[in-house]
Structure 1
Amino acid sequence: MGVLEDINAHRTELKTDSYTTTISDLLGAYKREDLQINPEYQRLFRWDLERQSEYIESLLLNIPTPPLFFATNPDGKSEVIDGLQRLSTLIKFFAPEIFEGEVEIATAENNEQEQNNLKVATLLLGAPLVASIEGYNVKTLPETLVRTLRYTRVPIILLEKESSVRARYHVFKRLNRSGSVLSDQEIRNCSARLFGNDFPQALRELASDPVVRTAIGIPDEQVRKMAIEEFILRLLANLYSPDPLKHSVIEFLDDFMQYGSEGKFLFNDEKKQVVARTFRLLAKTHPDGQAFRFYREDVPRGAVSTNLFDIVSYGVAKNIDYLEDNSPFLKARIIELHKGEDLKDLTGAGSNTKRKYIGRLQLGEKWFSKPEN
Structure 2
Amino acid sequence: MNEVDQDREIRTTAVDFSFGELLNLHRDKEIVIRPEYQRLFRWSNEQRSRLIESILLGLPIPPIFLVENDDGVLELIDGLQRTSSVLQFLDHEAIDEPELELVGCDILQRLNGETFASLKTVEKLKVKRTPIRATIINKSGDSFVKYEMFKRLNTGGSLLSAQEIRNCSSRMVQGGEAFYEAVQEMAAKDCFTRTIARLSESTKEKRADEELVLRFFAVATYRDGYKGNIEEWLDAFMEGVLFGDIEFKIEESTERFEKVFSLIDEKLSDQAFTRFNDQGAATGRLAPAYFEAVVASFDEKYEELKNVAPDTMLQRLKSAFVSHEFKDATGPGANTIPKLHQRIAAVGSHLVG
The 1-side partners of 2:213 and 2:188 are apart by: 11
Distance 1:361 1:267, change over 3 A: farther
Q: Which residue of 308, 316, 336 maps to 2:319?
A: 336
Match of 2:225, SS? coil
Q: Which residue of 59, 64, 68 maps to 2:55?
A: 59
Match of 1:312, SS? helix
The 2-side partners of 1:333 and 1:270 are apart by: 30
Question: What is the letter of the counterpart of residue 240 of structure 1?
Answer: T
Q: How does 1:280-295 map to 2 (within 5 A)?
A: 280-288=262-270, 290-295=271-276
The 2-side partners of 1:327 and 1:199 are apart by: 35
**Percentage of matched positions with identical amino acids:** 30
Question: What is the letter of the counterpart of residue 33 of structure 1?
Answer: K
Name the structure 2 match of 1:276: 258
Q: 1:176: how far off?
A: 2.3
Q: Does 1:212 align with 2:198?
A: no
Q: Does 1:83 align with 2:79?
A: yes
Question: What is the letter of the counterpart of residue 214 of structure 2?
Answer: L
Q: Does 1:299 align with 2:281?
A: yes
Q: Which residue of 14, 17, 28 maps to 1:21?
A: 17
Q: How does 1:33-44 map to 2 (within 5 A)?
A: 33-41=29-37, 43-44=39-40
Name the structure 1 match of 2:328: 345
The 1-side partners of 2:203 and 2:289 are apart by: 17
Q: 1:354: how far off?
A: 4.4
Determine if contact 2:38/2:168 at 8 Å carries over to the other structure: no
Q: For 1:91-135, what per-residue CA distance to the aligned partner results, in whole angstroms no more than 9, with x for missing partners? A: 110115x63xxxxxxxxxxxxxxxxx8421210013232222111
Q: 1:251: how far off?
A: 1.1
Q: How many residues align?
A: 345
**Aligned-residue CA RMSD (Å):** 2.5
Distance 1:276 1:10, change over 3 A: farther
Q: For 1:200-241, what per-residue CA distance to the aligned partner results, in whole angstroms no more than 9, with x for missing partners? A: 111111111111100111244433332221111101011112
Q: How does 1:119-130 map to 2 (within 5 A)?
A: 119-130=97-108
Determine if contact 1:215/1:283 at 8 Å carries over to the other structure: yes
The 2-side partners of 1:233 and 1:260 are apart by: 11
Q: Which residue of 24, 27, 30 maps to 1:31?
A: 27
The 1-side partners of 2:226 and 2:212 are apart by: 16
Instruction: Say which is worse superposed, 213-222 or 317-326, in terms of deviation.
Output: 213-222
Question: What is the letter of the counterpart of residue 68 of structure 1?
Answer: I
Match of 2:42, SS? coil
Determine if contact 1:71/1:79 at 8 Å carries over to the other structure: yes
Name the structure 1 match of 2:248: 266
Name the structure 1 match of 2:157: 179
Name the structure 1 match of 2:178: 198
Q: Which residue of 153, 169, 172 maps to 2:131?
A: 153
Determine if contact 1:274/1:320 at 8 Å carries over to the other structure: no
The 2-side partners of 1:128 and 1:12 are apart by: 46
Q: For 1:36-64, what per-residue CA distance to the aligned partner results, in whole angstroms no more than 9, with x for missing partners? A: 02242364421001111111122222212
Q: 1:27: how far off?
A: 1.3
Q: TM-score, normalised by structure 2?
A: 0.89
Gaps of 5+ in 1: 100-116
Gaps of 5+ in 2: none
Determine if contact 1:125/1:134 at 8 Å carries over to the other structure: yes
Question: What is the letter of the counterpart of residue 124 of structure 1?
Answer: L
Question: What is the letter of the counterpart of residue 214 of structure 1?
Answer: R
Q: Does 1:135 align with 2:135?
A: no
Q: Does 1:359 align with 2:342?
A: yes
Distance 1:347 1:55, change over 3 A: same
Match of 2:272, SS? helix
The 2-side partners of 1:123 and 1:251 are apart by: 42
Question: What is the letter of the counterpart of residue 168 of structure 2?
Answer: C
The 2-side partners of 1:338 and 1:88 are apart by: 47
Distance 1:44 1:307, change over 3 A: farther
Match of 1:17, SS? strand
Q: Which residue of 62, 65, 69 maps to 1:69?
A: 65
Instruction: Say which is worse superposed, 153-162 or 257-266, in terms of deviation.
Output: 257-266
Distance 1:242 1:363, change over 3 A: closer
Match of 2:37, SS? helix
Match of 1:336, SS? helix
Q: Does 1:47 align with 2:43?
A: yes
The 2-side partners of 1:24 and 1:243 are apart by: 52
Question: What is the letter of the counterpart of residue 291 of structure 1?
Answer: A
Determine if contact 1:233/1:253 at 8 Å carries over to the other structure: yes
Q: TM-score, normalised by structure 1?
A: 0.85
The 2-side partners of 1:86 and 1:188 are apart by: 21
Match of 1:121, SS? coil
Q: 1:32: how far off?
A: 0.6
